[in-house]
Structure 1
């Protein structure tokens, strides 16, 4: 049976990170520890940030691996980390919501577009950042799927 793409195990609320690299490693670490990716995927996530930032506006970043990182993905999955104090992603872009993505094949593209739809509304991002439980995050992210 395939793993759930997003379970409560993949969510951490109220995390403090001091740098973009630490933030990306944290998000990638959740995917690694829960068996979605191989260890190399985290390096590919960092490599991806060097090519182009995954900062999306609205306090959101969606770290993910480079194109050639697909072979490091075991199962499609998401990790969600809230950083209420914010972390600087460069150029004064402060990120408070991180959604890490690991996608098999092209599966992540659909996930990306759903996240983009949800997070294009600043109030939705704010709700996610303020969420008091992991279940609340899952509910908020699933609302668009219905």
Structure 2
């Protein structure tokens, strides 16, 4: 059976300011650690960034692999990185970096659910104000 798409250990809170590529690397490393993707997935996330920016507004970035990266995905999952002070994401300020790995086109459903939650700035603000990964997890589960 596949693992849950979101688990408590998929969330990192109160992260220090870092460069965009370092944030993407942190997300990719967590996806690897949690068993969702292979190490090579990070390179595919960077390739996606070169092709098309993944900042979607409201302080959210959703780095993910390019089309064809499915061979590097073991199972679908997301990781959430919270930066209370935000990070520079190509001239935008990102407070949440949500790394996504979607197998068998599940990324479309994952993106849709994330978009429904973060389209409201107040939802983003609630997540950014959380102090623990449990608070973030509970909020995301409740909002879904």
Shorter-chain TM-score tier: over 0.9
Q: How many residues align?
A: 144
Equivalent in the alignment of 1:114:
113
Equivalents in 1 of 2:64, 2:17: separation in Å? 18
Q: TM-score, normalised by structure 2?
A: 0.95
d(CA) in 1 for partners of 2:5 and 2:18?
A: 27
Structure 1: gaps spanning 5 or more residues: none
Quick one: distance in 2 between partners of 1:143 and 1:8? 14
Aligned pair 1:94/2:93, yes or no? yes
Q: Report the TM-score, using the length of structure 1 for normalisation.
A: 0.94
Give the whole-Å Cα distance in 2 for the aligned partners of 1:18 and 1:9.
Answer: 21
Task: After TM superposition, give the deviation of residue 120 of structure 1 in Å.
Answer: 0.3
Deviation at 1:130, TM superposition (A): 1.1
Q: Deviations over 1:30-82 (max 9, x none)?
A: 00111100011011001101111100111100110001111100010010010
Q: Which residue of 2 aligns with 1:34?
A: 34
4+ residue runs of structure 1 moved beyond 3 angstroms? none
TM superposition shift of 1:86? 1.3
Q: CA RMSD in A?
A: 1.0
